[in-house]
Amino acid sequence: MEVVKRVRLDPAQRRAQLISLGVKMLAQRPLEQISVEDIADQAGVSRGLLFHYFSSKHDFHVAIVRENSREMLDKTAPEEPRDGQMSSDSLFDTLRGVLASYVDYVSENRFTYVSLLRGTASGDPDMRAVFEETRTVMADRALVYLPLIGVPRTPQLELAVRGWIAFVEEATITWLRDPKTTRDELIDMTVRALPSLAIASSPENASALLGLVT
């Protein structure tokens, strides 16, 4: 086990260091097996000091999962739209970039990803709140872009985009467990699914969106 030299860190740095060590460990083992002792050893601090920063093991685990989700969101962030307009082709390219980053990120962290979203953690209210926040960020991103190509934001579109996030998660997890298509086929399908579902939410948009799908 790698043990870092005891160094003086200010409280914010120390807290960030402990979370960062937890995120690294999460790539190698399920959350349930991340012990406070191991992390404290790696950081060169006492178990007691760790509990100075986190009120409980559960609180520490939630902080790890929150940071892990934040990293996933960072790696999959789309470019900002320029001057409030966007062509359908640019939207499609942007969406493809986002989904490719997403699929690659979860492929590299497949064990962590599946165990968080489909394991014990998925039943915990605090963990679920983190996942829900993450899904909301992902849905809001899509809801920023669709109106730029003329798809009006309606309650049905919001519902469809929310459902699209669940669609992408489920398709990706199914694919990680038993990949019967290539990475590119998965990405293409999840990309085309967004305009498809935007059509489903409001058939009036069909003509504007069909070019993206077919």
CB of 64 to its own copies, least distance (A): 17
CB of 34 to its own copies, least distance (A): 16
The verdict on 129 binding its own copies (CB under 8 A) reads no
Q: What type of residue sits at position 70?
A: R
The verdict on 163 binding its own copies (CB under 8 A) reads yes
The verdict on 136 binding its own copies (CB under 8 A) reads no
The verdict on 55 binding its own copies (CB under 8 A) reads no
Pick the binder of its own copies from 156, 183, 184, 187 (CB under 8 A).
156
The verdict on 106 binding its own copies (CB under 8 A) reads no
Q: Cα–Cα distance between 78 and 141 in angstroms, integer?
A: 8
Give every CB contact of residue 65 below 8 A, 6+ residues apart in sequence.
26, 31, 116, 121, 127, 130
CB of 91 to its own copies, least distance (A): 15
Task: Give the nearer residue to its own copies in terms of CB position, either 102 or 175.
Answer: 175
Question: What DSSP letter does each residue of 135-174 carry, written as one string?
Answer: HHHHHHHHHHHGGGGT----HHHHHHHHHHHHHHHHHHHH
CB of 109 to its own copies, least distance (A): 19
Question: What DSSP letter does each residue of 86-114 carry, written as one string?
Answer: --HHHHHHHHHHHHHHHHHHHHHTHHHHH
Q: Cα–Cα distance between 161 and 138 in angstroms, integer?
A: 9
Pick the binder of its own copies from 52, 89, 166, 184 (CB under 8 A).
166
For residue 117 the two structure tokens come to 């979203």
Task: Give the nearer residue to its own copies in terms of CB position, either 35 or 154.
Answer: 154
3-state secondary structure of 124: coil
Task: Give the nearer residue to its own copies in terms of CB position, either 18 or 209.
Answer: 209
Q: Cα–Cα distance between 17 and 192 in angstroms, integer?
A: 40
Q: How many residues belong to the site for its own copies (CB under 8 A)? A: 42
Task: Give the nearer residue to its own copies in terms of CB position, either 28 or 120.
Answer: 120
The verdict on 197 binding its own copies (CB under 8 A) reads yes
For residue 27 the two structure tokens come to 């790539």
Cα-based torsion angle of the residue sequence 52, 55, 57, 61 in order, rounded to the nearest 10 degrees: -100
Pick the binder of its own copies from 9, 71, 158, 176 (CB under 8 A).
158
Q: Cα–Cα distance between 176 and 41 in angstroms, integer?
A: 33
Tell me which residues touch its own copies (CB under 8 A): 118-124, 128, 155-156, 158-160, 162-171, 174-175, 180-181, 185-186, 189, 192-193, 196-197, 199-201, 203, 206, 210, 213-214
